[in-house]
Structure formats: structure tokens, C-alpha cells
Amino acid sequence: MEKPILTGEMFTQGDIAAAEGALAAGCRFFAGYPITPATEIAERMAYRLPRIGGRYIQMEDEIASCTAVVGASYSGLKAMTATSGPGVSLMNETIGLAAMTEAPMVLVNVMRGGPSTGQPTEASQSDIMQAKWGSHGDYEIIALIPSSVQEMFDLTIRAFNLSEQYRVPTFVLADEIIGHMRERLIIPPEDELEIINRKKPTVPPEEYLPFKPETDLVPPMATFGEGYHFYATGLTHDQKGYPVMTDEAQLALVPRLCDKIRKNADKITQAESTETEDAEILLVAYGGEARTAMRAVKDARAEGMKIGLFRPISVWPFPKDQLKDAAANAQQVIVAELNYGQLVGEVERIIRNEVPVHFIPRVCGTPHTPDELMKEIRRRIK
């Protein structure tokens, strides 16, 4: 049997790193449907999973893929799918079901240009809001955005950990730049990896209430075949899991589904601040775009400009407090994204009108160059 964790160094692609991260996290089920630029994840899983005792299945579409993942998760396996925007559009139905029935699952979205079929082979960051609001109703998900091949690996592990811990669908939102970029990946030895598994019930089946939360607002999870004989439904349900159509039931359930993420946000959010202490200008960028932004910050510092970079790593929940800290001395905030204005709205919401928030959009398949960012920064701060 091949090793599930390929400890060592390799020179590889972001998509492959996501697949290896998933295996290292304990993922043993993948269901998907081919789509550029995420296909390499499926291809890697189709090769690797059967060799390590896992299961790969190519489904008839993304609706089926995501639903099979939820079925596998409820059957006790750590399970994932990988796709791009058009596939996420189809999966949104099941993401709502997974949120409602609290199924741990990981979805890697390697973002390409949209809307619709858009630019299949080009980079984009235009599914940021789709990840948060894609399905109907009030719910929360977690979304992490990697900026390197190493982070594709690390954050896929973290996505599994968070998804298991909070029983919530978790996205790895990668742009095509990171998905297809090749660089060094270091896979640590197994005993250096922190792996979190879902909480299991500690009571006998007769006493088990499948949707009764503990103090962290997360209920322990029995899985099929363990003798618990529980029921789960996408309908509003009580702690037994039974459908109940009352105001009280909705009120006991939906706020909890949101609050288990909102109230634990301090444990979930992740961000990186570079040279922000004395920064008068705060640049905000993430994913592939953050690498360009980092270069721009270095160049600007060399010219004597007091500029820093804030990089949200978890976009949902958004690292509010970390942004406020990073922007403490800023006189202006500049947000650069590979879209026509998405996360900038969240930044504005947090900065309020305290200082101006400028936006540098880009709606074509390539990232900004550092020079372009510099030019824009100079123009905006004049």
C-alpha cells in the first residue's frame, strides 16, 4: 500500500498540493466532476485514493458529486470535492443541505473567470461572495484562501480540521494562479500534523439527540451503521432531528447554525499582516493577488512610502479584528482583487467611514503586475 502522507519535499502544483493536503488530513472519499482549473485535484485523487484504501468516484454532475460527499461524510469518512465556479453554482443546493444537517465536508473551488462559462483557463477571484451567499437561507460556511502551493496543502488540512470541528462545509477558495502554480511543497511527518476529527457521541443510542449542541454549539456526530438509528433532514428540525415547523424550532436551529461559526470566529479567523505597524497606507489583497501586492509593498517601502499589506487567509469568517489592528494607523486603505468588487465591500463595512477605502479591480484572466499596482497606489494616494 502506498503512503497516505508523502512526507518530504516536492516541486509541484497548487492543485496537487490540495489533494495531498486532503489525504494528509485523513480524507478518504472524493466525488467530483471534471472542470478546469480544478481537474488536477480529481486526477490526483483518482490515482492516489484507491492506492491508500480510499474511494474515488466521478459522478454525473456537480449536484451529485456534492451530495455523494455529504452521504459519505454521514457514513463516517472525511470527504471532499473540487470544482470551479460553474460547479459551485450546481453544488450550492447541497451546500445548504450540508449546512442544515451539519455535515463536515471540504470543497476546493479553484476560481476561474465568470459569469457562466466565462474564462475556463484564466485566473479570477470572483467567487468570494458566492462562497458565502451561494445557497438560500441564513447559514454560515468557512472559507480559506491560499497564496502559495504550501498554503494549498496547509489550508486544505486546516479546512478539514475546521469542517470536522464545527460540522460545517468548508471551502478552500483558490484562484487559478495558485491552483496551477508550481513551487516547493514541504510535507511534514505525520506526527507533526495537527489533525482534528469530529466529536462522537458519548451516550448510548437511546439517549442520543443528534442535533443537541454542546457548549461550543456543535452537536456530537454519530454516523450511519453505528447503531444510533438517527434521522437527519434538510427541513427545520428539533434536537431529535425530527421536522418541526414552528417558530421556536426555526429559532432554536438557524441562529445556532450561524452562531457556531460567528461566536467561535476568534478561533477560526486567520490573517497575515506585513509591515502594517507604521503603515499609513494599508493594502489589502489575498490569494495569488497578495503575492503581487507583497512585491508592490516592498517596492513602495524602498521608495520610502509607509505602506503595509493585510492578507485575509480566512475570508469567511472575515478577520475583522485583525484588519482593524492592521489599519490602526492607516490614512487610507487600498483593496486589490481579481474581480469587479467583492471583498472590498466587507473591508468598507469594517473600516466604516474612518478612512477612505479605494478599490483596484481587475476583470481579466491575469493578475496585476507590481508596477500596475504601484501606479494605481500612487494615483489613489495623490
Binding site for other proteins (CB under 8 A): 1-2, 29, 31, 50-55, 57, 59-61, 63-65, 67-77, 79, 93-94, 96-97, 101, 224-235, 240, 242-243
* Angle, alpha carbons 374-379-382 (nearest 5°): 120
The smaller minimum CB distance to other proteins, of residues 232 and 344, is found at 232
- What's phi and psi for 32, nearest 5 deg? -160, 180
The smaller minimum CB distance to other proteins, of residues 160 and 318, is found at 160
- Considering the complex, what minimum distance in angstroms separates the CB of residue 78 from other proteins? 10
What nine digits make up the cell of 10? Answer: 516536492
- Measured CA distances, 364 to 50, 112, 222, 248 (Å): 38, 10, 46, 48
- Considering the complex, what minimum distance in angstroms separates the CB of residue 207 from other proteins? 14
- What's phi and psi for 190, nearest 5 deg? -50, -45
The smaller minimum CB distance to other proteins, of residues 77 and 334, is found at 77
- Considering the complex, what minimum distance in angstroms separates the CB of residue 70 from other proteins? 6
- Considering the complex, what minimum distance in angstroms separates the CB of residue 48 from other proteins? 10
> What does 113-177 look like in DSSP terms, one character per residue?
E-STT-EEEEE--TTHHHHHHSSSSS---EEE--SSHHHHHHHHHHHHHHHHHHT-EEEEEEEHH
The smaller minimum CB distance to other proteins, of residues 32 and 287, is found at 32
The smaller minimum CB distance to other proteins, of residues 100 and 149, is found at 100
Q: Which amino acid is at 17?
A: A
The smaller minimum CB distance to other proteins, of residues 203 and 235, is found at 235
CA dist 255 and 260 (Å) reads: 8
The smaller minimum CB distance to other proteins, of residues 97 and 281, is found at 97
From the list 84, 92, 94, 89, the residue with the least C-alpha distance to 39 is 84
CA dist 39 and 50 (Å) reads: 17
Q: Are 207 and 199 in contact (CB under 8 A)?
A: no
- Measured CA distances, 121 to 61, 116, 126, 282 (Å): 20, 13, 14, 31
- Considering the complex, what minimum distance in angstroms separates the CB of residue 222 from other proteins? 8
- Considering the complex, what minimum distance in angstroms separates the CB of residue 149 from other proteins? 26
The smaller minimum CB distance to other proteins, of residues 79 and 327, is found at 79
From the list 258, 314, 206, 269, the residue with the least C-alpha distance to 102 is 258
- Considering the complex, what minimum distance in angstroms separates the CB of residue 143 from other proteins? 22
- Considering the complex, what minimum distance in angstroms separates the CB of residue 237 from other proteins? 9
